[in-house]
Structure formats: structure tokens, C-alpha cells
Structure 1
Amino acid sequence: MEAPRIFLSPSTQPYNKYPNGGDEQYWMNRITDAMIPYLTASGIEYSRNTPDTSVGTSIRDSNSGYYGLHLALHSNAAPPELEGKIKGPDVYYYQYSEKGKRAAGIIADNLKKIYPEPGLVDTVPNTTLAELTKTNAPAVLVELAYHDNPQDEVWITNNIEGIARNLAQSVCEYFGVPFRDA
């Protein structure tokens, strides 16, 4: 049997600054780096973008191979009038993709186990985000939390390993393979 394959697409947005240091690109790449040993141990092959690329390049690279899932990792920011007031993960999927919806549901259910306020974890159907609509593979874009919210920023930056492990467990569940600790 062929190993499951995933394309990992952490944010390429260094201009989304975190109030206490770093930026969206930095922290999402840290989480992706921490996921890789779990995916490897679980027999899941991966490819990934690099920080010096763009969303368009990530989509082209994903579409140049055969992947069972395209996973984009981001953190969110509220509009200026609500800055610091919104919290919680949003897991986006292409509205017309059953596999994307299934993956988003698994990821959201598992994030509820580690996010401090599980009731704030949502799945969100979407028809406009390029990484959902232009990728050949079923795709999910996870906005892990709001980096402009102090509690969410701390949750992301202090839980890199836990978030990575949780996301890797979700990927394993989606592919139907046993999760193995790294």
C-alpha cells in the first residue's frame, strides 16, 4: 500500500506581527517543523512550502504532486475595530469538498481537546480562499487562533509542540493510519 501524502503550507506572511514577538510566518513554520517527526513516525510522506514563497507558489507546488490532503496553517487577526476581542480557531474547508469537510471536522474536533475554550472552535465552509479552491487535493486552512488577542497569542506561542502533535494526530485520523509518537 502506498503511504499517505500531505502538502504542508504554513503561512508565508511575515508582515502579520505578533505583539510579543515573531510573526505569523515564524510561528506557523515552527508548528509545521514540529509536526514533521510525528508524520514521519506515522508513515505519512510530506512536502511543504518554504517561507520565501507565496500562496501561488504553494498551490502550484501542491498541484505538481499527488497529495491526499493540503494543509495550510495560519493565525488570524480581527478587523481593527475588534482587535484583541475575538478568540478561537477557525478551520476552513472548500464548501463543495466532502473530503475537505471531513478533514476540517476531524481537525476541529481534535483542536477542541487542547484549545482552552473548546466552544470557540469552528469549522467554516468557504468558496473564496485560493488554497481551498485552487488545490487539486482536498484542502483545509486552519486559522489556529487570533494572534492579536493576548490569550490566543500566548496559547499559540507556548503550545507549539502540543498543537503540532494534535494536528499530526488529526492527519493520521483523516488518512486512517495509526498515530505514532516521535
Structure 2
Amino acid sequence: MPFIYLSPSTQEFNQYVTGGNEEQYMNLIADAMEPYLIASGIQFTRNTPQMTAASSIVQSNAGNYDLHLALHSNAAPAAMAGQVRGSDVYYYPTSARSRRAADIIAANLRDIYPIPSLVRTLPTTTIGEVARTRAPAVLIEFAYHDNVEDANWIKNNIEVIAQNVVLSLTEYFGIPFVTPQPILTGRVVTQGSPLNIRDYPSLEGNVITQAQNGDVITVVGEWQGWYVVHYNGRVGYASADYIDV
């Protein structure tokens, strides 16, 4: 199952023209993403506001992640402050996976950003969180926080943005997007045989582990007769027919 490094901005000094700051609002987006990530079976490690971009890179590189995702908002050069709008999604030019993730994220952002034509993907070899991570990486500049309309768009659409980004992640990883639900404790109920836990909600999915009859299992999401489950440190899909909740 996918495992990402989630890196909301640590730049509290970047003030929004409408009040608040970049670190604050990017962490609110990350907060809102978490239930969707959990329900959809995407595991994550997240940086903290006390960290920096450099320490986030170090922590990311110490793990084995399928994607490094940085969340930011933008600002125009001083001479153009407040005059620029748009969403930029940065990728590393020689990484096909980085570019593919950026393309998917940008395509979905066009569905929610007020001016779709101003959403674009851009290559970079200089942004550290894209160029210096072991995992393929994408950095999203959602909008310009020195522009009133863009700043208000971010502040008024935290949940919509979070849902949209997780939708993009599920498309990138090829798994279903699952709406959050209350996390439940279930019990495996079979005729005595083990319950297969798979990497995709289908009998064609690879078996990644098995739960035994009577075992306690955590249910974090549901999709078309399959539960997204946590069991013994593993995340996967199990048939809802064999779990009582």
C-alpha cells in the first residue's frame, strides 16, 4: 500500500495579505487531508511546524516513501505583489513518476481553482523538496497568498483542496478514493480459514497478509463491499463479508 511523506510548509514568516500565514494554512490543509488518506489506505509520515524544509528532506530521505508531497502557497516578486494569481505544481524533470504525479494533481486542481487556465506544472532542479529527496517528489504552490482573491480562495476551501489532493494521490497510486468514516473495531468471522488482506479491493489483488478467524481488526474505510483495514501494522483491503463491526 502507498506510503507518502507529507510536508506542509514550515514558513510561518510568509504572511497572508488577509491574515494568518503560509505554515498555518498549509497545515490546515494537511490536517484536512489526513482522514481522506487514512480512509483511502494511504499511509503517511508528516513533518511538524517546528521543522524546516531541510530537516523535512532529511526525515523523508531516512524512510522509504512512494512520494514526497510538499504543500505551499506562493508570493509574487515585490514589484508585482498582489498582482499574480495561479497554482503551480513543481516536479523533477528527469523523474517520470514526479512528472506524472504533478500532471494528475494539476489536472484535478483545475476543477476547483477559480481560473483553471492559471494552473500549470513546472520543472525544477533548484527547489530542495523536489530535487533533493530520495522519493519522487512534487511541490504544490496552491495560490498566491499576497493576492486577496487567491488568499481567500485557500482560506475558504481548505476541505475542498484537501479532498482534491487526496483524490489525485489515489489516481496516482491506482487505488479507490474512499470517503472518511468513523474508525471501527471489527472481528474476523470466517468458517475457520484465514482472511486474506490484499493490496487492491478485488480478488485479483495481491495477498499481503492474513488475519485469523476471531482476530480483532481495525476498519478505516469501505468501498464496494471491501473494507480498508489496519491489521498487525499492515494496511490493506479485506472482504466486508468476513468482518463483523
The normalised TM-score by structure 2 is 0.73
- The partner residue of 2:7 within 9, 14, 30 is 9
Hey, which bits of structure 1, 4+ residues long, moved more than 3 A? none
Q: How many Å separate the matches in 1 of 2:15 and 2:141?
A: 15
- The partner residue of 2:39 within 41, 57, 65 is 41
1:110 matches 2:125: no
Q: How many Å separate the matches in 2 of 1:40 and 1:56?
A: 26
Matches within 5 A, 1:105-144: 105-144=103-142
- Does the residue aligned with 1:140 lie in a helix, a strand or coil? strand
CA-based RMSD: 0.5
Q: How many Å separate the matches in 2 of 1:20 and 1:75?
A: 13
Alignment gaps of 5+ in structure 2: 181-245
Matches within 5 A, 1:145-156: 145-156=143-154
Structure (1/2) with the larger strand percentage: 2
- Does the residue aligned with 1:96 lie in a helix, a strand or coil? coil
Residue 48 of structure 2 aligns with an amino acid whose one-letter code is T
* Deviation (angstroms), 1:61: 0.7
Q: 1:81-117: per-residue Cα shift (whole Å, max 9, x none)? A: 1111110100000111110000000000000000010
Residue 72 of structure 2 aligns with an amino acid whose one-letter code is H
Structure 2 match to 1:71: 69
Structure (1/2) with the larger helix percentage: 1
Structure 2 match to 1:92: 90
Aligned length: 180
1:174 matches 2:160: no
The normalised TM-score by structure 1 is 0.98
- Does the residue aligned with 1:127 lie in a helix, a strand or coil? coil
* Deviation (angstroms), 1:20: 1.8
Alignment gaps of 5+ in structure 1: none
Structure 1 match to 2:21: 23
Q: How many Å separate the matches in 1 of 2:151 and 2:122?
A: 21
Structure 2 match to 1:53: 51
